[in-house]
Structure 1
Amino acid sequence: MPQVPPLPIATPVKPTSPQPAPGRNVVSLLPQSERSDGELVHAIAAGEPWAAAMLLDRYGPLVERLIRRVMGHDPELEDLVHDAFATILTSIHQVRDGQAVKGWISSVAVHTAHRAIRRRRLSRWLFFWQHDEELPEPSSVPAHGPREALRRVYAALDELSAEDRIAFTLRFVEEMPLEDVASACGVSLATVKRRLARAEQRFTALAKRDPVLRGWMEEGDRWTTNQ
């Protein structure tokens, strides 16, 4: 009986990583979640819609938090965040260094809040000159809970210049390092230190005259009513 030759044993084929098509950048094969900031900037400039969405997902919380810190609980917060991102998406091509994207986005958020503060102060001045009728008296019912204390903090911050207020909130509310505050404000470290010193002095003087904030200061360890 003729012998049947042994069947050849198939050698398992090891899976290989996908190879880029000729002329295609290897970076384009990376999952979108792994793209660096610099790659996102280039993709946005190339008109890739996913890149803008990813930038929003990555930095949306930062932009909202910074604007909220500066403005407080503001009814226009959503609009201000939208305005900031509109500026970011139309101007991000100006950023040449991918490592600078986060700092640049922070500065856009800060400047958006800055413009809103200045616009509102102008509106208040116009309202003052255009309305001679007697304004309604504020409520005399005291409310000394945390929400009221926060409201009074931002009422005191309303008395500061826009530049000093932004430096103050970024440093003491957001707790950003001095170097990051200076970068977000687009000024030197020496300038931001001068703004902070001026803002602290003004805020402390205002808080001392407010019974709620005075009590809060006496319990803290940074500002005291004996200063």
Structure 2
Amino acid sequence: MGEDGRTDAALWLEATSGTEASFGVVYDRYRARVFRRAFAQVQNVSDAEDIVAVVFLEAWRRRKDVRFVDGSLLPWLLVVTTNVTLNSQRAARRHKRLLAAIPAAEHAVDPGHEIEERLDGQLLNGRLQAALHRLNPAERRVVELCFIEELPLADAAAALDVPLGSVKSRLSRARRKLQAELGDAVWPGERQADDAPAPLPRAADGLEVTG
């Protein structure tokens, strides 16, 4: 429930019934959180802003399918954010492969080469960021929801519309993979309570935006 006292469900009902201002309230309520999640994945302000726009466009397109978790639309929006980001990154990789397949003109100087390398460095911001990108999409979604956004496992399961056991097993597999790549010095090995996953270690600071 926001400062105006209206729940997300009430606002969404108003929005889908023709009250455009209510959709604007939902947008204002969660735009910053969606932006933070997008920026954590792409490390680029312009790209993150584009993802925010697509997320809310997708939310409206799928307005009859949205899910509320304990009355909040945020967990579902975070899932959509991850999906949109993965799709945009796949499209960027296809575009990059296409450009690489085009023969360069003889003696041509590529002025975008340095910029492209810098953007690649941003996408692979540190060992942890790279390791997260190597998880499969299902594992990456639960890691982002449970460890980065610190949602309880039950809320993550509701947002993803999967059984709680599936979230636990995906999280366990992801944790083993990350430990294997990063070691316990970067990924703490202490056991956590079943429904209270610890946040990512401080080595993950590059994944988040504060403020």
Q: Among 13, 32, 43, which residue is 1:73 paired with? A: 43
Q: Which has the higher contact order (CA 8 A, sep 6+)?
A: 2
93, 110, 121: which is aligned to 2:82? 110
* 1:106 partner amino acid: L
Contact 1:118 1:162 in 2 (8 A): no
Task: Check the 8 A contact 2:76/2:160 in 1, yes or no.
Answer: no
Q: Distance in 2 between matches of 1:88 and 1:33?
A: 22
Shift of 1:103: 3.8
- Find the counterpart in structure 1 of residue 194 from structure 2: none
Alpha carbons of 1:111 and 1:125: their partners in 2 closer, same or farther (altered >3 Å)?
Answer: same
Q: Could you list the runs of 5+ residues in structure 2 that have no partner in the other structure?
A: 105-112, 114-121, 191-211
> Is the CA contact 2:59–2:66 (under 8 Å) kept in the aligned structure 1?
no
CA distance in structure 1 between the partners assigned to 2:138 and 2:89 by the alignment: 10
Deviation track 1:122-181 (CA, whole Å, cap 9, x = no partner) reads 5566677x3799xx9xxxxxxxxxx9x952211122222122222222222222211122
Larger radius of gyration: 1
**Structure 1 residues 170-189: aligned runs within 5 Å:** 170-189=145-164
CA distance in 1, matches of 2:103, 2:146: 39
Q: Which amino acid aligns with 1:177?
A: P
Shift of 1:121: 5.2
Structure 1 pair 164–116 and aligned structure 2 pair: CA distance change class (3 A): farther
TM-score by length of 2: 0.63
Q: Which residue of 2 aligns with 1:52?
A: 23
* Residue 33 (str. 1) matches residue 4 (str. 2): yes
What is aligned with 1:82? 53
For 1:169-215, what per-residue CA distance to the aligned partner results, in whole angstroms no more than 9, with x for missing partners?
Answer: 2222222211122233332222222221221122122224xxxxxxx
Indicate the RMSD between aligned Cα atoms, in angstroms. 3.4
**Cα distance in 2 between the residues matched to 1:171 and 1:34:** 27
Kept in 1, the 8 Å contact 2:82–2:141? The answer is yes
Structure 1's consecutive aligned runs of 4 or more residues displaced over 4 angstroms after TM superposition are: 95-98, 120-128
Alpha-carbon distance between aligned partners in 1 of 2:93 and 2:175, rounded to the nearest angstrom: 21
Instruction: List runs of 5+ in structure 1 lacking aligned partners.
Output: 1-31, 137-146, 209-216
Aligned length: 170
1:14 corresponding residue in structure 2:
none
State TM-score, norm by structure 1: 0.59
Q: Percent identity?
A: 26
Match runs of 1:112-127 below 5 Å: 112-120=84-92, 122=94
Q: Which amino acid aligns with 1:87?
A: E
